A and B are shown apart, each in its own frame.
Chain A
Amino acid sequence: MEDLYAKKAWELIAMLRGREVSAREVLQSVLRRIEEVEGDVHSYITLTEGEAEQAASRADEALAGGRDPGTAAGVPLAVKDVLCTRGVPTTCGSRMLEGFVPVYDATVIGRLREAGMTMMGKANMDEFAMGSSTENSAFGPTRNPWDLDRVPGGSSGGSAASVAAGEAIWALGSDTGGSIRQPASFCGLVGLKPTYGLVSRYGLVAFASSLDQVGPIARDVRDCALLLSLIAGYDPRDSTSLQVKVADYLEALEGDIRGLRVGVPGELMQEGLTPGVRANVENALRLFAELGAEVEETTLPHLDYALSAYYILAPAEASSNLARYDGVRYGLRVEGEDMLEMYGRTRAAGFGAEVKRRIMLGTYALSAGYYEAYYGQAQKVRTLILGDFRRAFERFDVLVSPTSPTPAFALGEKVEDPLAMYLSDVCTIPVNLAGIPAVSIPCGLEDGLPVGLQIMGKALGEAELLRVARVMEEALGFRERPRVARGEA
């Protein structure tokens, strides 16, 4: 029998309800796996075994008493360490917040607690979600379970690696420019970035407020749909949260894609793709057609400027969002002769190089005399990109591209070259700028490393998006599993 830690959430939920296994057994299996591989993978910043054991016991008691333990009960979940968890340290992968313990739960955490969540731990990440490799964590990098010499992607690298390695069944990540989809792609998983406003941001430590979304990372589309249904929905604490009725994502999975109009933006299939990525994506496009979809190349001309606009807007918001880390009220403080010196020393010691780089970029872009040329211009580009997508979705139901131009790259490969690192998100960033949903599903391997297919949908079109992803997942039949070992090369 397959180890419990390797099962999908929906399988475990059925087994728990059928009393085939107990929540404690599932947890024990995952804990043993953590013992085996965590030393190599380093998915977690903080493990919460104690809390998980209590949650598992509660689930078992409820099940034994014939009560509903909650949908998420007994299925160990990794939570990206950017979500506030009451009583559990929340670091955002930064020295700045070392030892910071939130006094409140993020809305998504509160909802999952209601659903009986078994939180396994707080997953590693690039500092303040800035990065594409999880190498920017102050607590050391996470390694890719498919090849320990490679990165798991980022910034939700810990979340993705934990699910891929069997250290959690599913995970929460956050996505500002691809931070759920790209690590899901690098780790052979399904990751969904919801429509901006579908999932509450309350308690998600802000990187770039107008782009950030919380979303699921899981082993298949069904788990993704299930986890999304548990966290989605209007939250009065988040003014940007949308007042819409949440669709039944599980029910929506049924059906086919006959007649589906699929657009392939040429801008996302340009140079820079590795041969394996190109081949796997083209194979997927052939499958779309075989299943009765109409596949057509299209153009979203302003996507060529998406990366530039993103690297103005996101750092600008970040420079302001991260101003609160000053040593006055919480987190790290390095004393100085006076207030300004304390600010300077605290921020110099607390933030890593990439965070500092983006704070400087953003501060500059917002400065008097430069605002129009940078921030103002980038906002205009964003509006144009939104227009491109709106027009495209008049003709197409979904748009398809690679999730990342390459499979997982080697640890250290891009650390010294921020621009090369930024290019890793070239296919995912436009989605955040437009606020639309997108999912990454595995579509094959290149040299033993997973390749991700990105499917983009209309705003609030998650139900259709997940159905398309489920149909394609089945057709692609990706069943590979990581070995959790070093690569051959």
Chain B
Amino acid sequence: MGGYEAVIGLEIHAELRTRSKMFCSCDASFGGEPNAKTCPVCLGLPGVLPVLNRRAVELAIRLALALECEIAPRCIFHRKNYFYPDMPKNYQISQYDLPLAVRGHLDLEMEEGPFRVGITRVHLEEDTGKTVHVSESGRIHGSEYSLEDFNRAGVPLLEIVTEPDIRTPEQARLFMQELKNIMEHLDVSDCKMEEGSLRCDANISLRPRGSQDYGVKTEIKNMNSFRALYRALDYEISRQREIMENGGEIVQETRHWDADANTTTPLRTKEYAYDYRYFPEPDLVPLEPERALIEEVRASLPELPAQRRRRFREQYGLPDHDAWLLTSSKSMGDYFEEAVAKGPDPKAVSNWMMGELSAYLNARGMEIGEIKATPSQLADMVSLVEEGVISGKIAKTVFEEMLETGKDARAVIADKDLTQISDEEELAAVIAETIAENPKSVEDFRRGKEKAVSFLVGQVMKKTRGRANPQLVNELLLRELREGG
């Protein structure tokens, strides 16, 4: 970073998980034949009027409260006017100077220590439809015509704007992950970045370290994953730094993240220099959430990630690091708790999840919800290790097979004949054989090199393809060597 620090603010859009759309009764679920989920209202036909979805308001309040925001006693909707074919009315019903909620925050922790990101505002608006450009490239330029799908038009959207409190791409990624995590716990959004139900734009500028001023910022769009967010910000920081170090000036503009080219490129001026001509939406009355409703929503808030993290430390005696990882998503925490409920040692389950399981997910880019092994299957496997049925090392092989096939640990063990050998007679034969084959090591031991035992244990394990109970082998070997001497 040199002498500069980045100042980053995020603007997040999340589709709310309501049954019906924001201003009509159409099905708000994802997918479906194009335009199957539409009606006169969300198609913007002449004469129609919007009616606010109460459920969307409740969900928005839910998130706003989880982010410690103040809920406005009275807020109003505005029309944001601009022409675009995916927007049936050519204005979007949104909120402007009187949003639903303001002044919240989200606390996060990194190895360098805790940090807080301020939430400027949370407001409600409606989503737009989708334009499909019909051409070989799928791009607007050179396309013969375009088609519109209004299934998403009018789906309730939550906009969350942060203060410019973020300093690094890693912090930005962590913030987004935690926000998603919170929304999953609250069950307010599907939070699928790839389906567009969770989107994120960033404002970013650089300033000399120690300065309190703000530099000229750029707005980065089209970051469709946490990884894209990280890479785009990382790229933009180096781009801006290079310009500043060479005495150049940053141009205030909107830039588009191109994941394939690994760069941000400016959007044409025309595409963002709109004057939105906001004015109060005359078709809706001011929204005045009653105290009782707010308190009802507050009382119904489920356990949030921060609370769960604390509980994991206290209830299961997990270290900080484990608690963070296991509560990094709702499904991760649920998986852990379901497994632990079966009785195995929580720390052992945690180790498996943070180690083998996370590695497996990362390698395949999968979510925990997509794996075949169930929490209770993991619990059984951990218990088998605790009971000495299989060794820890064998267990790794077993678990991998379970993840691939969804089979029970016992079935995998039986299929592959992996039960731990704890039978002394059976082991005695192998040990005798090993001693016979390794006179030099035996000699070393007798001359006082205790380490030679480890080598011999290793040899026994090798001969039994890892199935031998290592502790028992160790014991038997020592006895044999001493007695034999």
Stretch in B48-56, B106-114, B158-166 touching the partner: B48-56
Name, among B51, B52, B148, B282, the residue most crowded by chain A CB atoms within 10 Å (CB to CB): B282
Name, among A97, A238, A239, A326, the residue most crowded by chain B CB atoms within 10 Å (CB to CB): A239
A329 to B146, CA, bound (A): 12
20 A-B contacts (beta carbon < 8 Å): A83-B47, A92-B46, A102-B46, A106-B47, A203-B48, A206-B46, A239-B51, A316-B279, A319-B81, A320-B277, A323-B90, A324-B88, A324-B90, A326-B83, A329-B43, A329-B148, A339-B85, A366-B81, A368-B277, A371-B277
Judge whether A330 and B285 touch: CB under 8 Å: no
Name, among B45, B79, B85, B275, the residue most crowded by chain A CB atoms within 10 Å (CB to CB): B45
Within 8 A of A (CB), among B59-104: 79, 81, 83, 85, 88-91
Name, among A92, A100, A317, A363, the residue most crowded by chain B CB atoms within 10 Å (CB to CB): A317
By beta carbon, the residue of chain A nearest B277 is A366
Judge whether A206 and B47 touch: CB under 8 Å: yes
Inter-chain contact count A-B, CB under 8 Å?
97
Within 8 A of B (CB), among A293-350: 316-317, 319-320, 323-324, 326, 328-330, 339, 343
Judge whether B277 and A363 touch: CB under 8 Å: yes
By beta carbon, the residue of chain B nearest A375 is B279
Judge whether B81 and A323 touch: CB under 8 Å: yes
Encode contact with B along A392-425: 1 for CB under 8 Å, 0 otherwise: 0000000000000000000000000000000000
Judge whether B48 and A202 touch: CB under 8 Å: yes
Across the interface, which residues of B come within 8 angstroms of A343, CB to CB?
Answer: 83
Within 8 A of A (CB), among B258-307: 275, 277-279, 282-285
Judge whether B51 and A324 touch: CB under 8 Å: no
Judge whether A317 and B46 touch: CB under 8 Å: no
Judge whether B277 and A328 touch: CB under 8 Å: no
Report if A84 contacts B (CB, 8 A): yes
B140 → A minimal CB distance (Å): 8
Judge whether B47 and A323 touch: CB under 8 Å: no
A13 to B109, CA, bound (A): 78
Report if B388 contacts A (CB, 8 A): no
A402 to B46, CA, bound (A): 33
Report if A103 contacts B (CB, 8 A): yes
B81 → A minimal CB distance (Å): 5
Partner of A326, one of B46, B52, B85, B146: B85
A319 to B278, CA, bound (A): 12
The count of chain A contact residues (Cβ–Cβ below 8 Å) is 42
Judge whether B285 and A240 touch: CB under 8 Å: yes
Report if A274 contacts B (CB, 8 A): no
Judge whether B89 and A324 touch: CB under 8 Å: yes
By beta carbon, the residue of chain A nearest B77 is A239
Judge whether A320 and B45 touch: CB under 8 Å: no
Report if A487 contacts B (CB, 8 A): no
A316 to B281, CA, bound (A): 11
By beta carbon, the residue of chain B nearest A211 is B282
A399 → B minimal CB distance (Å): 25
Judge whether A236 and B47 touch: CB under 8 Å: no
A317 to B91, CA, bound (A): 12
A334 → B minimal CB distance (Å): 15
Judge whether B91 and A320 touch: CB under 8 Å: yes
Report if A90 contacts B (CB, 8 A): yes
Judge whether A84 and B46 touch: CB under 8 Å: yes
Across the interface, which residues of B come within 8 angstroms of A97, CB to CB?
Answer: 46
Report if B40 contacts A (CB, 8 A): yes
By beta carbon, the residue of chain B nearest A201 is B49
| A-B complex: 10 closest residue pairs judged by Cβ atoms | A323-B90, A366-B277, A209-B282, A210-B282, A205-B46, A203-B47, A84-B47, A205-B47, A328-B85, A368-B275
Known pairs A97-B46, A316-B279 / 11 extra A-B pairs, C-beta < 8 Å: A203-B48, A205-B46, A208-B282, A239-B49, A239-B283, A240-B283, A320-B79, A326-B90, A328-B148, A343-B83, A366-B279
B248 → A minimal CB distance (Å): 29
A108 to B226, CA, bound (A): 51
Report if B44 contacts A (CB, 8 A): yes
A319 to B90, CA, bound (A): 11
Judge whether B283 and A104 touch: CB under 8 Å: no
Encode contact with A along B169-187: 1 for CB under 8 Å, 0 otherwise: 0000000000000000000
Partner of A238, one of B49, B52, B90, B277: B49
By beta carbon, the residue of chain A nearest B279 is A366
Encode contact with B along A79-95: 1 for CB under 8 Å, 0 otherwise: 00001100000101000
